[in-house]
Amino acid sequence: MKITKIIPFLAVTFFALPVFAEGGNPISHLAAAIAISVAAFGGALGQGRAAAAALEGIARNPGARGDIFTPLILSLALIESLVIYALLIAFQLVG
């Protein structure tokens, strides 16, 4: 594994350490971290696929841009709202 891949991981790990210093149940902190990371990863994949499909549809039929753009924005907002719900659940696990 290259060092350029390890450095960002270590930087994030060291910046996240003060979260564990406040006390409480460390398992709930770990569960919250895993929950938000999985949600962010899934949301990013979903947004990428939605945007790719919309761009492919617009590339095949440029006249359908108006018909594709509004549902795309709506679907991206709904995908992002699921990630925000996961963030709220993570805050509930920690608190």
Do the domain assignments include residue 42? Answer: no
Do the domain assignments include residue 27? Answer: no
Do the domain assignments include residue 43? Answer: no
Do the domain assignments include residue 3? Answer: no
Do the domain assignments include residue 31? Answer: no
Percent of the chain exceeding pLDDT 70 equals: 79
The number of distinct structural domains making up the chain is 1
Mean pLDDT to the nearest integer, 25-53: 85
Please give the model's pTM, rounded to 2 decimal places. Answer: 0.66
Burial 18-52 (b: 16+ CB within 10 A, else e): eeeeeeeeeeebeebbebbeebeeebeebbeebee
Interacting residues of 80 by C-beta distance below 8 A, sequence separation 6+: 43, 47
| pLDDT of res. 7 | 74
The pairs formed by 34-37 with CB atoms below 8 angstroms and a separation of 24 or more are 35/86, 35/89, 35/90, 35/93, 36/86, 36/87, 36/90
- Taking only the tens place, the pLDDT of each residue in 20-32 is 566 667 777 777 8
Do the domain assignments include residue 37? Answer: no
Do the domain assignments include residue 59? Answer: yes
The pair of three-digit structure tokens given for residue 90, joined into one six-digit string: 């993570």
Do the domain assignments include residue 75? Answer: yes
Residue 72, domain extent = 52-95
